[in-house]
Amino acid sequence: MQRTKIQHGKIISQKGIGHGTILIEGSKIVGVEHADIQAPDAKVIDAKGNFVSPGFIDLHVHGGNGFDFMDGTEQAYQEISILHARHGTTSIAPTTMSCSHNTLKGILSAFETFKNKQFSGSCFIGIHIEGPYFAFNQRGAHDGRYIRSPKADEYKEIISTSASVARWSAAPELPGALEFGNYLRSKKILPSLAHTDAIYEEIITAFKHGFTHATHLYSAMSGVTKKNGFRYAGAVESAFLIDEMTVEIIADGAHLPPPLLQLVYKIKGPEKIALITDAMRGAGLAAGPSVLGSREDGLPVIIEDGVAKLPDRSAFAGSVATADRLIRNMIQMAGAPLVDAVRMMTTTPAEIMNLSDKKGTIEVGKDADIVIFDDDLQVKMTMVQGKIVYEEQ
């Protein structure tokens, strides 16, 4: 079995940053020491004083490199995995858009076909279904034709046809949503509140029914509302008030400006925040026209100013960020130290998705998912389960 040694790097851990050596055997980490590890048969990778980090885990990805997971093709999976691996992402949760019941079944079938293929990029950790159980007024760029309340026979069929659903984002105030949350939890699937008009009292109830995570906090989500003169806390405030609730944020600097990044970081802390790209097919491409969702019936958008927008520029329509950009922004815009910024892209996402036994930290026994980057967060090498999938030339 191939052995690899990474030396002369500054290893990032939850305790801080320290010089050390990592020994990998096959797909697993078998040694982490401050001193050199004697392994004369091992291939040596010289980190050259750069940072050595756990691989980045992106819990919310629609696409990149001109492709979307809604395309349902092997080429789409290949190109998306390659693009994000170049920017340090070692694990991706492919994410759907609101669509018809039959289309969703087809997307899940495609995932089952391609999830274990050896693509030369990021690996896949389970699918994230986003929609169609949303509040219509908070649908954002999701197609209004498909927005509806949860139907038990529908979602039970979906889950019975795929063992790979890891998370399902929905509005918890809809009729049938609490039963939906209970059912997901019974199947070890994470219900996540999203595209919601819920107020605090509804969120508190939903939390008890399994909705313990908030999808792209602030985006397509209620804040303080006023009815008959009385003010009500919304989903955003609820996520802050419920200490145990985890959140994810699109830290691209467009969806959330620096003051909001600072606020989320200050209130929730790195242990409760996952950074996500929410990247659509335009990630990695030049500015210009693109499509959000499937090529056949997706939404035309324009990529400019580092974000995707509706054609009339009235609202954002997706992110074109990559993971390295998110970490850089949390350091530069939110004032987070490097260790915290990396944690929000590694350890915390692993904890949210119950992957901590395999991923999220550089420890013996875990997958050899490793990123080497320099002081400017420029990725030098990405390794997925012991295999180098990207190396700067």
**3-state class of 92 per DSSP?**
strand
CA torsion, ordered 356, 362, 363, 365, to nearest 10 deg: 70
Write the DSSP assignment of 155-191 as a string of letters.
HHHHHHH-S-EEEEEE-TTSTTHHHHHHHHHHTT-EE
Q: What is the pLDDT of residues 129-181, one digit of tens each?
A: 999 999 999 998 899 999 999 999 999 999 999 999 999 999 999 999 999 99
Burial 112-123 (b: 16+ CB within 10 A, else e): eebbeeebebbb
pLDDT reported for residue 339: 98
Q: Name 229's Cβ contacts closer than 8 Å, sequence gap at least 6.
A: none
As a whole number of angstroms, the distance between CA 291 and CA 317 comes to 10
As a whole number of angstroms, the distance between CA 349 and CA 248 comes to 9
Nearest partner of 54 among 321, 261, 341, 278, judged by Cα: 341
All CATH 3.20.20.140 domain ranges in the chain, comma separated: 55-357
Residue 117 has pLDDT above 90, yes or no: no
Eight-class DSSP state of 204: H
* CATH number among 1.10.275.10, 3.40.1260.10, 2.30.40.10, 2.40.40.20, domain 3-52+374-391: 2.30.40.10
Residue 231 has pLDDT above 90, yes or no: yes
All CATH 2.30.40.10 domain ranges in the chain, comma separated: 3-52+374-391
- Structure pTM? 0.97
* CATH number among 3.30.470.10, 3.40.50.12280, 3.40.630.10, 3.20.20.140, domain 55-357: 3.20.20.140
Cβ count near 188 (within 10 Å) = 9
Instruction: Return the structure tokens found at 242.
Output: 């419920």
Nearest partner of 167 among 150, 187, 191, judged by Cα: 191
- What share of the chain in percent tops pLDDT 70? 100
Residue 1 has pLDDT above 90, yes or no: no
pLDDT reported for residue 376: 97
pLDDT reported for residue 337: 98
Distances (CA, A) of 81 to 78, 327, 359: 5, 19, 17
Instruction: Return the structure tokens found at 383.
Output: 């390794």
Query: Which of residues 17 and 118 earns the better pLDDT score?
Result: 17
As a whole number of angstroms, the distance between CA 361 and CA 371 comes to 11
CA 66 to mean position of chain CA atoms? 18
CA torsion, ordered 89, 92, 98, 100, to nearest 10 deg: 140
Residue 315 has pLDDT above 90, yes or no: no
pLDDT reported for residue 116: 84
